[in-house]
Structure 1
Amino acid sequence: MTRPPTVRPHTLHAAGIELSALLALPGTTPPRSTILAIHGRGMRAAYWNSFIPLATAAGHAVLAVDRPGYGASAGHLPEGQTLAEQAETLHAALKEHARTHDTGAGFHLLGHSDGGKVALHTAATAGGAVPLLGLDTSGTGYQYDPQALHFPSTLGGGATKLNWGPLHLYPRGTVQASRALLAPTPPRESAETIHWPRQFETLAPDVRIPVRLTFAEHEAWWHLDDTTLTAMTSRLTRSPSVTVDHLPAAGHNISLGHTADTYHQRALAFLDACLPPATTARRAPQHN
């Protein structure tokens, strides 16, 4: 059996802002890469708990961050930051992290929902400060479904269908247990939600790394018809590759559901494809 990774609380320093995070390192050094895992609206870094053991067993470090306005930075940023400002803060955090840690081949961006939006902002405005390998998002679309137009808060009533989908897609007790992961959505983040389609149109042409977009079968936030998805992918004109993946028997919170392992294995396979050849060949050994 693979030994469980050591996951420890970590602090990222980002131009005067301290961000809380979880850091997990593989059993081998250096890591093949460092995965920046970015949670969605109203969640926390622990959303990625089930992903971390698989990633570290494959030789990657995982840096799961509480986004600006969440966790330790909530007191300093009571109104939060816009998505663009969050990306700027993460750039500063990654640059500082790379100064003090071996990050392997570079950083790989893994984002969920609004975290995927932040990941897109981060990729589009990278500027070469740190090496970025790929961009992998789940539950992050282009055009909202009409039923999502009123954007109910993650913590408010009526949001269950949008944020979860059918509850049988998750292990028993998941929704109740996930309350420990929840946090208020900062006002500045909520206020710009409706502007995302235009933001994506501006950002997409500046993304220069491989992109993978995953959508759950029971995703309710987004239009997922072929026309809309083609319009989305066609805007990523400078990305060397764009992949759209559909995950059956899954709801919006993919990493908390019964099909989380399938999704995570596919995410790691995509990361393998983004790595330089020498790094791809160096996989972490399994510990018995």
Structure 2
Amino acid sequence: MTSTEPERATGVHRRVADVHGVPASALIAEAARPQAVIVALHGGATTSAYFDHPGHPRLSLLRTAALAGFTVLALDRPGYGSSAGHEDRLRTTAGRTDFAFAALDAHLDGRERGAGVFLWAHSAGCELAVRMAGDPRGAALLGVELAGMGRVHHPRSVAAMEEWRRDPERTRPSLRRALWDPPHVYPPDVYGGRAIGSSSPSYETRREVWQAEFTRLAARVAVPVHLTLAEHEQVWRNGPEGLADLASMFTASSRLVRHEQAGAGHNTSVSRTALAYHLHVLAFVEECVLGVRALPSEAGHRDG
């Protein structure tokens, strides 16, 4: 069962679906005849509003992608949005992965999916995306975009990330600088994330577990992968070396593209260059769609 709340501007709606007794909230923007569905997974200390920042439609992934012919479902990750307070039901990584797959199906029930589902994740949301893509159920995905993640922390953020482990509310000034600097790459009312902020569930304080599993899980992802690191990224090592190191982990991917987003900070989807970033990755999604749709005709040609 799902419910819709029409409190946002026309074109983007907030919905809540029941997933085995846990409410799963999301923002959705629908295309009339979608080429595919993009499922967007936000990072830490925010919600699905990251992909549709209030007052900045030009920065919105949901609005841009819908105009390009894609339905976008921005899920509030387990422990965020309406599922906050239900952490006792979402303690394990397997449980959170199952919850995300079930929430996706519940929200898309009865809706056209076009060529299929593409995962688009940011920062801490990339953990869930990699777990989903590496799961046997992930083999049906069109592809994955992973932004604002890495394997080695940027030298400027090492101390800040240690503070983060001791402070799940993310109030430490040094962490805020790592996540949001430099200020000039964001609109003034976007910098700092006050309009889209959220407390983080307790499981996200145990990041060392994820870092230990990352290499093993990344090697299971067989679908196309697009990787984005911002020009001004300060949480993860960036530049050609950072991208190459990250790409080296996805050894089973059928296609891998590396991209540095000019003019962006860690939070690429709310930086001033968000529209450029979204259009760049949407081109990759379109290629994934065309690749899937070309398969039957190519098979027929070979058989003939």
Residue in structure 2 matching 1:189, options 180, 198, 204 = 204
Contact 1:81/1:189 (CA < 8 Å) preserved in 2?
no
SS in 2 for 1:175: coil
1:153-192 matches, cutoff 5 A: 153=168, 155-158=170-173, 159-175=175-191, 178-191=193-206
TM-score if structure 2 supplies the norm length? Answer: 0.82
1:209-220 matches, cutoff 5 A: 209-220=223-234
Flag structure 2 segments of 5+ consecutive residues without an equivalent.
1-8, 53-59, 295-304
How far the C-alpha of 1:139 sits from its partner, in A, is 0.2
Contact 1:210/1:241 (CA < 8 Å) preserved in 2?
yes
How far the C-alpha of 1:88 sits from its partner, in A, is 2.1
Q: 1:61 to 1:216 in 2, by over 3 A?
A: same
Corresponding position of 2:86: 76
Report the Cα distance in structure 2 between the residues aligned to 1:151 and 1:133, rounded to whole angstroms.
37
- Of structures 1 and 2, the one scoring higher in RCO (CA 8 A, sep 6+) is 1
How far the C-alpha of 1:204 sits from its partner, in A, is 1.1
Q: 1:216 to 1:228 in 2, by over 3 A?
A: closer
Query: Deviation per CA, 1:211-250, whole angstroms, max 9, x where unpaired?
Result: 0110011111112365554343222121111111111221
Report the Cα distance in structure 2 between the residues aligned to 1:13 and 1:123, rounded to whole angstroms.
23
Report the Cα distance in structure 2 between the residues aligned to 1:278 and 1:242, rounded to whole angstroms.
16
Flag structure 1 segments of 5+ consecutive residues without an equivalent.
281-288
Corresponding position of 1:133: 142
Report the Cα distance in structure 1 between the residues aligned to 2:268 and 2:35, rounded to whole angstroms.
25
Contact 2:119/2:141 (CA < 8 Å) preserved in 1?
yes
Report the Cα distance in structure 2 between the residues aligned to 1:81 and 1:237, rounded to whole angstroms.
29
Alignment root-mean-square deviation, CA? 2.3
Report the Cα distance in structure 1 between the residues aligned to 2:242 and 2:274, rounded to whole angstroms.
25
Contact 1:83/1:117 (CA < 8 Å) preserved in 2?
no
Contact 1:79/1:187 (CA < 8 Å) preserved in 2?
no
How far the C-alpha of 1:80 sits from its partner, in A, is 5.6
Task: Give the percent of matched residue pairs that are identical in Structure 1 and Structure 2.
Answer: 34
How far the C-alpha of 1:79 sits from its partner, in A, is 8.7
1:21-40 matches, cutoff 5 A: 21-26=26-31, 28-29=32-33, 31-40=34-43
Report the Cα distance in structure 2 between the residues aligned to 1:151 and 1:102, rounded to whole angstroms.
44
Residue in structure 2 matching 1:242, options 256, 259, 262 = 256
How far the C-alpha of 1:100 sits from its partner, in A, is 2.6
Report the Cα distance in structure 2 between the residues aligned to 1:229 and 1:196, rounded to whole angstroms.
19
Corresponding position of 1:47: 50
Moved more, 144-153 or 194-203: 144-153
Corresponding position of 2:302: none
SS in 1 for 2:87: coil
1:117 matches 2:120:
no
Contact 1:83/1:189 (CA < 8 Å) preserved in 2?
no
Give the partner amino acid of 1:233: A
Aligned residues: 272
Contact 2:239/2:260 (CA < 8 Å) preserved in 1?
no
Report the Cα distance in structure 2 between the residues aligned to 1:94 and 1:256, rounded to whole angstroms.
24
Contact 2:115/2:292 (CA < 8 Å) preserved in 1?
no
1:255 matches 2:269:
yes
Report the Cα distance in structure 2 between the residues aligned to 1:273 and 1:151, rounded to whole angstroms.
41
Report the Cα distance in structure 1 between the residues aligned to 2:251 and 2:177, rounded to whole angstroms.
33
SS in 1 for 2:18: strand
